Amino acid sequence: MCGRYFRHDVTWAEYHAALSIIPYEDVEPPEATYNAAPTTIQPIVRRAEHGTHRELAPARWGLVPSWWTKPLSEMKFTTFNAQAETAAEKPVFRGAYRHHRCLVPVSGFYEWTGAKGAKTPFAISLCNRRWFCMAGLWDSALIDGSEIHSFTILTTKPNDLMAGLHTRMPVIVAPEDYSLWLDPEAGDPSRLFEPYPTDAMQAWPVGPEVGNVRNNYPGLIAEA
The rounded distance, in Å, linking the Cα atoms of 213 and 224 is 18
The yes-or-no verdict on residue 1 having pLDDT over 80 is: no
Contact 167, 92 (CB under 8 A): no
The yes-or-no verdict on residue 137 having pLDDT over 80 is: yes
To the question of pTM greater than 0.85 for the whole model, the response is yes
pLDDT value, residue 91: 95
Please state the φ and ψ torsions of residue 20, each to the nearest 5 degrees: 60, 30
Q: Does residue 2 carry a catalytic annotation?
A: yes
pLDDT value, residue 180: 95
Full set of structural domains in the chain with CATH = 5-221 (3.90.1680.10)
pLDDT value, residue 38: 96
**Among the options 31, 85, 111, 127, which is catalytic?**
111
The yes-or-no verdict on residue 52 having pLDDT over 90 is: no
The rounded distance, in Å, linking the Cα atoms of 133 and 204 is 20
100-110 burial, b at 16+ Cβ within 10 Å, e below that, comes to bbbbbbbbbbb
Contact 174, 189 (CB under 8 A): no
The yes-or-no verdict on residue 92 having pLDDT over 80 is: yes
pLDDT value, residue 201: 98
**Among the options 2, 102, 209, 223, which is catalytic?**
2
The rounded distance, in Å, linking the Cα atoms of 18 and 30 is 16
The yes-or-no verdict on residue 214 having pLDDT over 80 is: yes
The yes-or-no verdict on residue 50 having pLDDT over 80 is: no
State the average pLDDT for the chain: 94
pLDDT value, residue 67: 94
Q: Does residue 102 carry a catalytic annotation?
A: no
pLDDT in tens, 140-155: 999 988 999 999 999 9
Contact 117, 44 (CB under 8 A): no
pLDDT in tens, 154-212: 999 999 999 999 999 999 999 999 999 999 888 899 999 999 999 999 999 999 999 99
Kindly indicate the confidence band of residue 26, based on its pLDDT and cuts at 50, 70 and 90.
confident
pLDDT value, residue 115: 84
pLDDT value, residue 187: 83
pLDDT in tens, 60-87: 999 999 999 999 888 988 999 999 999 9
